[in-house]
A and B are shown apart, each in its own frame.
Chain A
Amino acid sequence: MTRDKGSVRGLVLGKKKSLSVLEGLGFRVGQALGERLPRETLAFREELDALKFLCKDLWAAMFQKHMDGLRTNHQGTYVLQDNSFPLFITMGSGSQYLEEAPKFLAFTCGLLCGALHTLGFQSLVTASVAALPACKFQVVIQKY
Protein backbone atom coordinates (compact mmCIF):
# COMPACT_ATOMS: atom_id res chain seq x y z
CA MET A 1 0.00 0.00 0.00
CA THR A 2 1.62 3.22 -1.09
CA ARG A 3 0.67 6.67 0.08
CA ASP A 4 1.83 9.71 -1.82
CA LYS A 5 2.88 12.91 -0.06
CA GLY A 6 -0.44 14.64 -0.68
CA SER A 7 -2.55 12.17 1.19
CA VAL A 8 -0.07 11.89 4.08
CA ARG A 9 -0.17 15.66 4.46
CA GLY A 10 -3.95 15.47 4.34
CA LEU A 11 -3.93 12.86 7.08
CA VAL A 12 -1.68 14.97 9.30
CA LEU A 13 -3.79 18.10 8.76
CA GLY A 14 -6.92 16.10 9.38
CA LYS A 15 -5.55 14.89 12.68
CA LYS A 16 -4.65 18.43 13.80
CA LYS A 17 -8.06 19.71 12.79
CA SER A 18 -9.88 16.93 14.59
CA LEU A 19 -7.91 17.63 17.78
CA SER A 20 -8.87 21.30 17.61
CA VAL A 21 -12.51 20.38 16.98
CA LEU A 22 -12.43 18.16 20.06
CA GLU A 23 -10.89 20.98 22.04
CA GLY A 24 -13.59 23.34 20.85
CA LEU A 25 -16.29 20.91 21.98
CA GLY A 26 -14.62 20.64 25.38
CA PHE A 27 -14.45 24.43 25.62
CA ARG A 28 -18.20 24.84 25.15
CA VAL A 29 -18.96 22.11 27.69
CA GLY A 30 -16.48 23.69 30.10
CA GLN A 31 -18.24 27.05 29.77
CA ALA A 32 -21.58 25.46 30.67
CA LEU A 33 -20.09 23.49 33.57
CA GLY A 34 -18.35 26.60 34.85
CA GLU A 35 -21.76 28.20 35.12
CA ARG A 36 -23.60 25.28 36.68
CA LEU A 37 -21.15 23.79 39.15
CA PRO A 38 -20.08 26.65 41.47
CA ARG A 39 -23.51 27.20 43.00
CA GLU A 40 -24.18 29.87 45.60
CA THR A 41 -20.53 30.47 46.46
CA LEU A 42 -18.71 33.52 45.21
CA ALA A 43 -15.48 32.21 46.68
CA PHE A 44 -13.15 32.79 43.73
CA ARG A 45 -11.18 35.66 45.06
CA GLU A 46 -7.99 34.60 43.33
CA GLU A 47 -6.75 32.24 40.64
CA LEU A 48 -5.75 29.57 43.11
CA ASP A 49 -9.35 29.23 44.30
CA ALA A 50 -10.50 28.74 40.72
CA LEU A 51 -7.80 26.13 40.12
CA LYS A 52 -8.80 24.31 43.30
CA PHE A 53 -12.37 24.33 42.05
CA LEU A 54 -11.14 22.71 38.82
CA CYS A 55 -9.19 20.05 40.68
CA LYS A 56 -11.93 19.18 43.13
CA ASP A 57 -15.44 20.05 41.94
CA LEU A 58 -15.00 19.87 38.17
CA TRP A 59 -12.95 16.69 38.22
CA ALA A 60 -15.35 15.05 40.67
CA ALA A 61 -18.33 15.98 38.51
CA MET A 62 -16.69 14.61 35.37
CA PHE A 63 -14.73 11.62 36.57
CA GLN A 64 -15.93 10.96 40.14
CA LYS A 65 -12.45 11.49 41.54
CA HIS A 66 -10.22 14.40 42.51
CA MET A 67 -7.11 15.53 40.74
CA ASP A 68 -4.08 13.95 42.33
CA GLY A 69 -1.74 16.90 42.39
CA LEU A 70 -1.64 20.65 41.81
CA ARG A 71 1.61 22.55 41.57
CA THR A 72 2.21 26.19 40.79
CA ASN A 73 5.02 28.63 40.32
CA HIS A 74 2.83 31.41 41.73
CA GLN A 75 3.25 33.33 38.52
CA GLY A 76 0.28 32.09 36.57
CA THR A 77 1.48 28.61 35.59
CA TYR A 78 -0.14 25.57 37.16
CA VAL A 79 0.51 21.88 36.62
CA LEU A 80 -2.36 19.53 37.34
CA GLN A 81 -1.31 15.95 37.79
CA ASP A 82 -3.67 13.01 37.45
CA ASN A 83 -2.10 9.65 38.21
CA SER A 84 -4.96 7.53 36.96
CA PHE A 85 -6.81 9.44 34.28
CA PRO A 86 -10.09 7.55 33.84
CA LEU A 87 -9.99 7.58 30.05
CA PHE A 88 -6.61 5.88 30.10
CA ILE A 89 -7.27 3.22 32.72
CA THR A 90 -8.89 0.87 30.27
CA MET A 91 -6.34 1.55 27.56
CA GLY A 92 -3.30 0.10 29.17
CA SER A 93 -0.41 1.06 31.36
CA GLY A 94 3.10 2.00 30.43
CA SER A 95 4.24 3.54 27.19
CA GLN A 96 2.20 1.45 24.80
CA TYR A 97 -0.33 3.88 23.30
CA LEU A 98 1.42 7.22 23.74
CA GLU A 99 0.60 8.34 20.17
CA GLU A 100 -3.12 7.84 20.62
CA ALA A 101 -3.22 9.62 23.97
CA PRO A 102 -3.63 13.23 22.64
CA LYS A 103 -6.99 12.34 21.11
CA PHE A 104 -8.37 11.55 24.52
CA LEU A 105 -6.80 14.56 26.17
CA ALA A 106 -7.96 17.22 23.68
CA PHE A 107 -11.54 17.35 24.95
CA THR A 108 -10.36 17.60 28.55
CA CYS A 109 -7.97 20.45 27.77
CA GLY A 110 -10.82 22.35 26.17
CA LEU A 111 -12.97 21.59 29.19
CA LEU A 112 -10.47 23.15 31.60
CA CYS A 113 -10.00 26.15 29.32
CA GLY A 114 -13.75 26.71 28.98
CA ALA A 115 -14.45 26.46 32.68
CA LEU A 116 -11.68 28.96 33.44
CA HIS A 117 -13.06 31.27 30.75
CA THR A 118 -16.47 31.34 32.43
CA LEU A 119 -14.83 32.09 35.76
CA GLY A 120 -13.09 35.04 34.15
CA PHE A 121 -9.59 33.79 33.36
CA GLN A 122 -8.09 33.57 29.89
CA SER A 123 -5.86 30.53 29.81
CA LEU A 124 -3.84 28.20 27.67
CA VAL A 125 -4.09 24.51 28.52
CA THR A 126 -1.80 21.82 27.19
CA ALA A 127 -1.52 18.20 28.21
CA SER A 128 1.36 15.80 28.29
CA VAL A 129 1.56 12.12 29.04
CA ALA A 130 4.72 10.30 30.00
CA ALA A 131 3.32 6.91 30.87
CA LEU A 132 -0.28 5.77 30.84
CA PRO A 133 -2.45 6.19 32.87
CA ALA A 134 -0.82 9.25 34.44
CA CYS A 135 -1.02 12.60 32.68
CA LYS A 136 -0.30 16.22 33.37
CA PHE A 137 -2.22 19.31 32.33
CA GLN A 138 -0.35 22.56 32.17
CA VAL A 139 -2.49 25.66 32.64
CA VAL A 140 -1.02 29.07 31.91
CA ILE A 141 -3.24 31.96 32.97
CA GLN A 142 -2.83 34.84 30.56
CA LYS A 143 -2.64 38.31 31.92
CA TYR A 144 -2.91 41.44 29.88
Chain B
Amino acid sequence: MAVCIAVIAKENYPLYIRSTPTEDELKFHYMVHTSLDVVDEKISAMGKALVDQRELYLGLLYPTEDYKVYGYVTNSKVKFVMVVDSSNTALRDNEIRSMFRKLHNSYTDVMCNPFYNPGDRIQSRAFDNMVTSMMIQVC
Protein backbone atom coordinates (compact mmCIF):
# COMPACT_ATOMS: atom_id res chain seq x y z
CA MET B 1 0.00 0.00 0.00
CA ALA B 2 1.43 3.32 -1.02
CA VAL B 3 1.67 6.37 1.16
CA CYS B 4 2.00 8.90 -1.65
CA ILE B 5 1.44 8.71 -5.39
CA ALA B 6 2.42 11.38 -7.89
CA VAL B 7 2.12 11.79 -11.66
CA ILE B 8 4.69 14.19 -13.10
CA ALA B 9 4.45 15.59 -16.61
CA LYS B 10 7.20 15.67 -19.19
CA GLU B 11 8.12 19.22 -18.20
CA ASN B 12 8.49 18.15 -14.56
CA TYR B 13 5.42 19.75 -13.05
CA PRO B 14 2.91 17.62 -11.15
CA LEU B 15 -0.25 16.51 -12.90
CA TYR B 16 -1.56 14.66 -9.87
CA ILE B 17 -0.22 14.24 -6.38
CA ARG B 18 -1.96 12.61 -3.47
CA SER B 19 -0.75 11.47 -0.08
CA THR B 20 -2.41 9.98 2.97
CA PRO B 21 -3.75 12.92 4.96
CA THR B 22 -2.46 11.96 8.40
CA GLU B 23 1.12 13.04 7.74
CA ASP B 24 2.05 16.52 6.62
CA GLU B 25 1.83 16.56 2.85
CA LEU B 26 4.69 18.97 2.30
CA LYS B 27 7.21 16.35 3.31
CA PHE B 28 5.93 14.00 0.60
CA HIS B 29 5.82 16.74 -2.01
CA TYR B 30 9.45 17.49 -1.23
CA MET B 31 10.38 13.81 -1.41
CA VAL B 32 8.75 13.45 -4.82
CA HIS B 33 10.51 16.57 -6.01
CA THR B 34 13.92 15.31 -4.98
CA SER B 35 13.25 11.92 -6.53
CA LEU B 36 12.86 13.57 -9.93
CA ASP B 37 16.62 14.06 -10.06
CA VAL B 38 17.15 10.34 -9.59
CA VAL B 39 14.56 9.60 -12.28
CA ASP B 40 16.32 11.86 -14.77
CA GLU B 41 19.63 10.23 -13.93
CA LYS B 42 18.21 6.77 -14.56
CA ILE B 43 16.62 7.83 -17.84
CA SER B 44 19.82 9.30 -19.19
CA ALA B 45 21.85 6.31 -17.99
CA MET B 46 19.50 3.99 -19.85
CA GLY B 47 19.89 6.06 -22.97
CA LYS B 48 23.65 5.65 -22.99
CA ALA B 49 23.77 1.94 -22.26
CA LEU B 50 23.17 -0.09 -25.39
CA VAL B 51 20.30 -2.17 -24.08
CA ASP B 52 17.94 -3.64 -26.61
CA GLN B 53 14.85 -3.61 -24.48
CA ARG B 54 14.52 -0.64 -22.21
CA GLU B 55 12.31 -0.99 -19.19
CA LEU B 56 9.58 1.42 -18.24
CA TYR B 57 9.84 0.41 -14.58
CA LEU B 58 12.77 2.19 -12.93
CA GLY B 59 12.72 0.35 -9.62
CA LEU B 60 13.75 1.61 -6.22
CA LEU B 61 14.92 5.20 -6.61
CA TYR B 62 16.23 5.76 -3.13
CA PRO B 63 15.41 4.55 0.37
CA THR B 64 15.11 6.79 3.41
CA GLU B 65 14.83 5.55 6.98
CA ASP B 66 11.02 5.58 6.94
CA TYR B 67 10.11 5.33 3.30
CA LYS B 68 11.08 3.83 -0.03
CA VAL B 69 10.54 5.65 -3.31
CA TYR B 70 9.84 3.83 -6.58
CA GLY B 71 9.72 5.26 -10.10
CA TYR B 72 8.25 4.47 -13.52
CA VAL B 73 8.46 6.42 -16.77
CA THR B 74 6.18 6.12 -19.81
CA ASN B 75 7.03 6.50 -23.47
CA SER B 76 5.77 10.06 -23.39
CA LYS B 77 8.20 10.90 -20.55
CA VAL B 78 5.42 11.13 -17.97
CA LYS B 79 6.77 9.91 -14.65
CA PHE B 80 4.98 8.08 -11.88
CA VAL B 81 6.51 8.25 -8.40
CA MET B 82 5.31 6.11 -5.54
CA VAL B 83 6.34 6.40 -1.89
CA VAL B 84 5.74 3.36 0.29
CA ASP B 85 6.21 2.76 3.99
CA SER B 86 9.47 0.99 4.81
CA SER B 87 7.89 -0.94 7.64
CA ASN B 88 5.59 -2.64 5.15
CA THR B 89 8.10 -5.25 4.01
CA ALA B 90 5.45 -7.54 2.59
CA LEU B 91 5.38 -5.53 -0.64
CA ARG B 92 7.39 -7.30 -3.29
CA ASP B 93 8.83 -5.99 -6.54
CA ASN B 94 6.20 -7.51 -8.80
CA GLU B 95 3.42 -6.06 -6.66
CA ILE B 96 4.93 -2.62 -7.16
CA ARG B 97 5.23 -3.34 -10.87
CA SER B 98 1.54 -4.29 -11.10
CA MET B 99 0.57 -1.12 -9.21
CA PHE B 100 2.53 0.93 -11.73
CA ARG B 101 0.91 -0.94 -14.60
CA LYS B 102 -2.54 -0.10 -13.23
CA LEU B 103 -1.47 3.53 -12.88
CA HIS B 104 -0.22 3.56 -16.48
CA ASN B 105 -3.48 2.07 -17.76
CA SER B 106 -5.56 4.61 -15.83
CA TYR B 107 -3.36 7.44 -17.05
CA THR B 108 -3.81 6.27 -20.64
CA ASP B 109 -7.57 6.25 -20.11
CA VAL B 110 -7.41 9.82 -18.82
CA MET B 111 -5.36 10.84 -21.84
CA CYS B 112 -7.91 9.32 -24.23
CA ASN B 113 -10.73 11.29 -22.65
CA PRO B 114 -11.57 13.98 -25.24
CA PHE B 115 -12.54 16.44 -22.52
CA TYR B 116 -9.11 16.25 -20.95
CA ASN B 117 -6.50 18.72 -22.18
CA PRO B 118 -3.04 17.20 -22.01
CA GLY B 119 -1.05 19.17 -19.47
CA ASP B 120 -3.93 19.96 -17.13
CA ARG B 121 -4.23 18.58 -13.62
CA ILE B 122 -5.91 15.19 -13.58
CA GLN B 123 -9.38 15.49 -12.11
CA SER B 124 -10.91 12.21 -13.22
CA ARG B 125 -12.98 10.40 -10.65
CA ALA B 126 -12.05 7.00 -12.07
CA PHE B 127 -8.36 7.84 -11.65
CA ASP B 128 -9.03 9.02 -8.07
CA ASN B 129 -10.82 5.79 -7.23
CA MET B 130 -8.00 3.70 -8.63
CA VAL B 131 -5.40 5.63 -6.63
CA THR B 132 -7.53 5.37 -3.46
CA SER B 133 -7.57 1.61 -3.84
CA MET B 134 -3.76 1.63 -3.83
CA MET B 135 -3.20 3.95 -0.90
CA ILE B 136 -3.07 2.90 2.71
CA GLN B 137 -6.48 2.52 4.28
CA VAL B 138 -6.34 4.97 7.19
CA CYS B 139 -9.75 5.44 8.68
Contacts and interface: CB of A to CB of B under 8 A. Distances in A.
* Binding between chains A and B: yes
Interface of A: 28, 31-32, 34-36, 38, 40-45, 118-120
B99 to A, nearest CB: 15
Contacts of A44: 75
Contacts of A120: 10, 76-77
A35 B10 CA distance: 13
B114 interface: yes
Given A35-B112, A42-B46, A42-B56, 12 more contacts: A28-B114, A31-B118, A32-B112, A35-B74, A35-B75, A35-B111, A41-B53, A41-B54, A45-B47, A118-B75, A119-B76, A120-B10
A42 B111 contact: no
B112 A43 contact: no
A35 B114 contact: no
7 contacts: A35-B111, A38-B75, A41-B53, A42-B56, A43-B53, A120-B76, A120-B77
- What's the dominant secondary structure at chain A's contact region? loop
A31 B111 contact: yes
Given A36-B111, A36-B112, A118 B76 contact: yes
Interface of B: 10, 46-47, 53-56, 73-77, 107-108, 111-112, 114, 118
A40 to B, nearest CB: 6
A114 B91 CA distance: 38
A34 B107 CA distance: 13
A42 B74 CA distance: 7
A31 B9 CA distance: 14
B56 A35 contact: no
A43 B111 CA distance: 21
Which of A34, A38, A41, A42 has the most B CB atoms < 10 Å from its CB?
A42
